[in-house]
């Protein structure tokens, strides 16, 4: 975990309001686990003042680059979207614990379920799983055809199914429509996306499979000091034990925290 | 000569910069970034007698040049702070200011009595101004007679000097500060956050689960400067100033207003290295302004 200024080497719009930014710098040498995130300062002014937590979508150690994908919709991410190649970005990271890929036995299959802006960290996860001989099935949900991204990149790693809420591309409906229609065979489930989706995945699979969920919460510091992103443990919902999304997560095994 | 050395009741500060309570946890997280011994002091997270989970999430919301928080004094409770958190900080050569919170005067007394016995706790900061807890908290800090009573009760049991953290959410802050001084407080820390609120455009509901939260960051600095300026001229105990400090220039402005040290809050979240950066930035700023020792700056705005 370090703070460094990193150089933007590519920055482009890849879907409706969705941007992909690749940054270069020594910080990449610390990035190892898929599902980790960085905390980015979007500008030098005081509005907005806080950093933005954004997940790591790709790590390229050889080129010392990593890639983030974000939706430009708020003040901070809109400012970030205006940055140009060659600009320097203040990055704090890598933060959080990410997905543990050695929970899947070699030769087994992993089911990867993503929704919207929860999809990006699952790409690096799938790459790393495939690199150690684990097959991956991807089920990705978006609002509409214009919102779909990274389909080809996931296809190059394994079977990939797309659902769109309005039915303009792939299966009409949610990721659950794809999951209900296809009797996939797998060993472990990894998921990142809207809370409502994570709840459904937890209910559907956690009785019979190991399930790992990446959570999102508003953060202050991103390093565990401010207690802004604290959640209850499931085995103690009204008690005083807790987990911090920023440092204990953002990835938790299903059943560990209340979502 | 150490141009940044400041001596206050219970505190021999190698420099006047310290992280503010609630913005630094119990130091562990920031110890991964730099040697905590570099700091003037550390104001640790509020400690209550029993563990507190705090408020529901979302607990933070942004505002221009600031943020709202409604953490709700989440902490592991007195016993764990004494047994697990304070021993961790023993390895650093830095005085600890323990922030004491409670729901009743008895709570404050119990925490103050026990935590002030810990060897690296050099002072207490009495938290009677947290806007995010329904019982205690701000209720103690907005009425002079209640502020007097809780300060006196804690002063009677504390083994170290007692600083009291003032709320800005009052009509007459001087009146409260003077009541606290009469109760025997050794110093004041000011200001705590300003009570604020933000609403979600789509739902029309508050963004924070708690509804309201405490505003901090550069947005509140002018309010803090004004209050330090007013209070410092009307009490004879030192003030640790805070509220939107993010540069060495801000530190000097608080000194000019009447502060003798400065705490840094929200800026830690923006830049985890902000405290050591300010410590390094102060001597060149003093050079630029022709100031030999930082203590010359205390109250310069109103001292003739």
Residue B269, pLDDT above cutoff 70: yes
Question: Cα(A56)–Cα(A36) distance, rounded to whole angstroms?
Answer: 6
Contact A226 B66 (CB under 8 A): no
Return the pLDDT at A236.
82
Is the domain defined by A109-214 classed in CATH 3.90.180.10? Answer: no
- CATH number of the domain that B11 lies in? 3.20.20.70
Contacting A residues, span 122-141, partner chain B, CB-CB under 8 Å: none
Residue B304, pLDDT above cutoff 90: no
Query: How many angstroms separate the CA of residue B92 from the nearest CA in chain A?
Result: 18
Contact A242 B59 (CB under 8 A): no
What is the average per-residue pLDDT within B24-50? 97
Name the residue facing A49 among B29, B67, B76 (closest C-beta).
Answer: B67
Query: Would you say residue B274 lies in a domain?
Result: yes
Return the pLDDT at A76.
95
- List chain A pLDDT tens, one digit each, 259 residues: 899 999 999 999 999 999 999 999 999 999 999 999 999 999 989 999 999 999 999 999 999 999 999 999 999 999 999 999 999 999 999 999 999 888 888 889 999 999 999 999 999 999 999 999 999 999 999 999 999 999 999 999 999 999 999 999 999 999 999 999 998 999 999 999 999 999 999 999 999 999 999 999 999 999 999 999 999 998 887 777 899 999 999 999 999 999 8
Name the residue facing B29 among A225, A230, A240 (closest C-beta).
Answer: A225
Name the pairing type of β-strands A158-164 and A171-172: parallel
Return the pLDDT at A128.
96
Name the residue facing B65 among A49, A92, A223 (closest C-beta).
Answer: A49
Query: Would you say residue B221 lies in a domain?
Result: yes
Query: Would you say residue B160 lies in a domain?
Result: yes
Name the pairing type of β-strands A2-15 and A18-24: antiparallel
Query: What is the distance of C-alpha A3 from the center of its chain?
Result: 21
Name the pairing type of β-strands B60-63 and B17-19: unpaired
Helices (H) and strands (E) in chain A, counts: 5, 15
Tell me if A192 is assigned to a ligand binding site.
no
Contact A232 B60 (CB under 8 A): no
Name the pairing type of β-strands A65-71 and A88-95: unpaired
Query: Would you say residue B199 lies in a domain?
Result: no
Partners of residue B69 in chain A, C-beta under 8 Å: 220, 226, 228
Q: List the single residue in B with minimal CA-CA distance to A90.
A: B271
When divided into structural domains, chain B yields a total of 1
Return the pLDDT at A138.
98
Return the pLDDT at B6.
98
> Is any Cβ of chain B less than 8 angstroms from the Cβ of A42?
no
Torsion-angle region of B275 (φ positive above 0: left; ψ -120 to 50: alpha; else: beta): alpha
Contact A49 B69 (CB under 8 A): no
What is the average per-residue pLDDT within B289-297? 97
Query: What's the mean pLDDT when you consider all of chain A?
Result: 95
Partners of residue A219 in chain B, C-beta under 8 Å: 60
Q: Using omega within 30 degrees of 0 as the cis cutoff, is the peptide bond preceding A48 cis? A: yes
Residue B136, pLDDT above cutoff 70: no
Same fold, A2-95 and A109-214: no
Contact A231 B76 (CB under 8 A): no
Question: Cα(B114)–Cα(B198) distance, rounded to whole angstroms?
Answer: 38
Return the pLDDT at B135.
63
> Is any Cβ of chain B less than 8 angstroms from the Cβ of A257?
no
CATH superfamily ID and name for A2-95? Translation factors (2.40.30.10)
Partners of residue A216 in chain B, C-beta under 8 Å: none
The complex's ipTM works out to: 0.92
- Host domain of residue B233: 6-54+71-194+213-297
What is the average per-residue pLDDT within B284-302? 98
> With a threshold of 0.90, does the pTM exceed it?
yes
Return the pLDDT at B134.
64
Contact B25 A46 (CB under 8 A): no
Contact B29 A223 (CB under 8 A): yes
Burial track B161-180 (b if 16+ CB lie within 10 A, e otherwise): bbbbbbbbbbeebbebbbbb
Query: Would you say residue B48 lies in a domain?
Result: yes
* In contact, B73 and B137? CB cutoff 8 Å: yes
Q: Using omega within 30 degrees of 0 as the cis cutoff, is the peptide bond preceding A178 cis? A: no
What is the average per-residue pLDDT within B138-154? 91
Query: Would you say residue B206 lies in a domain?
Result: no
Percent of chain B at pLDDT exceeding 90: 94
Q: Which residues of B are catalytic?
A: 130
Indicate the domain borders of chain A.
2-95, 109-214
Name the residue facing A218 among B24, B60, B218 (closest C-beta).
Answer: B60
Query: Would you say residue B147 lies in a domain?
Result: yes
Tell me if A221 is assigned to a ligand binding site.
yes
Return the pLDDT at B141.
86
Query: Would you say residue B97 lies in a domain?
Result: yes
Return the pLDDT at B137.
67
Return the pLDDT at A211.
96
């Amino acid at each position: 975990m370090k703070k460094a200024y990193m150089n933007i080497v590519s920055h482009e719009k890849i879907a409706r309001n969705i941007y992909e930014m690749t940054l270069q710098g020594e910080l990449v040498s610390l990035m190892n686990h898929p599902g980790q995130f960085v905390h980015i300062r979007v500008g030098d002014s005081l509005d907005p003042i806080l950093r933005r937590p954004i997940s790591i979508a790709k790590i390229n150690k050889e080129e010392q680059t990593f890639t983030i994908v974000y939706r430009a919709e708020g003040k901070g991410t809109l400012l970030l979207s205006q940055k140009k190649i060659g600009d320097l970005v203040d990055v704090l990271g890598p933060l959080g614990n990410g997905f543990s890929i050695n929970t899947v036995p070699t030769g087994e299959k992993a089911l990867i379920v993503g929704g919207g802006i929860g999809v990006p960290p699952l790409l690096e996860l799938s790459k790393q799983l495939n690199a150690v001989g684990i097959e991956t099935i991807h089920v990705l949900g978006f609002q509409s055809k214009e919102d779909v991204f990274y389909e080809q990149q996931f296809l190059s790693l394994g079977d990939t199914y797309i659902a769109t809420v309005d039915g303009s591309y792939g299966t009409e409906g949610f990721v659950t429509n794809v999951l209900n229609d296809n009797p996939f065979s797998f060993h472990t489930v990894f998921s990142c996306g809207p809370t409502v989706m994570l709840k459904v995945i937890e209910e559907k699979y956690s009785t019979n499979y190991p399930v790992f969920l990446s959570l999102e919460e508003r953060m202050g510091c991103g390093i565990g000091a401010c207690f802004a992103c604290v959640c209850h443990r499931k085995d103690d919902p009204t008690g005083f034990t807790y987990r911090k999304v920023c440092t204990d997560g953002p990835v938790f095994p299903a059943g560990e925290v209340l979502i | 000569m150490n141009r940044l050395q400041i001596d206050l009741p219970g505190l021999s500060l190698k420099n006047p910069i310290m992280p503010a309570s609630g913005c630094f946890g119990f130091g562990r997280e920031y110890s991964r970034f730099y040697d905590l011994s570099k700091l003037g002091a550390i104001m640790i997270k509020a400690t209550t007698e029993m563990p507190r989970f705090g408020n529901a999430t979302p607990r933070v919301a942004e505002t221009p040049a600031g943020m709202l928080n409604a953490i709700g004094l989440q902490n592991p409770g007195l016993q764990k702070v004494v047994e697990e958190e304070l021993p961790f900080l023993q390895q650093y050569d830095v005085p600890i200011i323990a922030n004491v919170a409670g729901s009743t005067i008895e709570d404050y007394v119990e925490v103050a009595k026990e935590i002030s016995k810990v060897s690296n706790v050099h002072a207490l900061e009495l938290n009677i101004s947290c806007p995010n807890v329904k019982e205690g908290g701000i209720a103690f800090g907005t009425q002079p007679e209640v502020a007097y009573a809780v300060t006196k009760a804690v002063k009677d049991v504390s083994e170290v000097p007692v600083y009291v953290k003032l709320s800005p959410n009052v009509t007459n802050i001087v009146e409260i500060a003077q009541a606290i001084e009469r109760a025997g407080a050794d110093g004041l820390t000011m200001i705590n956050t300003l009570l604020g609120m933000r609403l979600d455009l789509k739902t029309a509901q508050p963004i924070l689960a708690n509804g309201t939260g405490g505003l901090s960051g550069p947005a509140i600095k002018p309010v803090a400067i004004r209050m330090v300026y007013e209070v410092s001229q009307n009490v004879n105990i030192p003030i640790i100033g805070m509220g939107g400090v993010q540069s060495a220039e801000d530190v000097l402005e608080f000194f000019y207003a009447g502060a003798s040290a400065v705490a840094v809050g929200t800026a830690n979240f923006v830049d985890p290295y902000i405290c050591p950066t300010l410590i390094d930035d102060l001597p060149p700023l003093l050079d630029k302004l022709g100031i030999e020792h930082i203590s010359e700056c205390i109250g310069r705005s109103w001292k003739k």
